[in-house]
Amino acid sequence: MDAYTSSIGDGDTLSKKLLLADDDHSACAAVGLFFESEQFEVKTADDGIEALPLCTTWHASACSLYSNAPCTS
């Protein structure tokens, strides 16, 4: 078992999930492809506002947010 996967009670494993939030779609795609090749399940969002609901429902192992992305109020 690698550092990102651990066993839980009934023999299931916790998956490696990465949430990427950035308004640069090319950057998200490139980073996402890399992590998918490392067996991560990847989801992307255009900004933090779009990423927030995913944080509460999808439960990513890690998140990467471009902090200078524009947001609406």
Highest averaged pLDDT of the listed ranges 7-11, 30-34, 66-70: 30-34
> Does pLDDT of 24 surpass 60?
yes
Domain range summary for the chain, segments of one domain joined by +: 17-65
Q: Which of 41, 23, 22, 45 is nearest to 33 (CA)?
A: 41
- What's the mean pLDDT when you consider all of the chain? 79
pLDDT at 68: 66
Q: Structure pTM?
A: 0.71
> pLDDT digit string (tens) for 28-53?
999 999 999 999 999 999 988 899 99
Q: Could you tell me the pLDDT band of residue 14, with boundaries at 50, 70 and 90? A: low
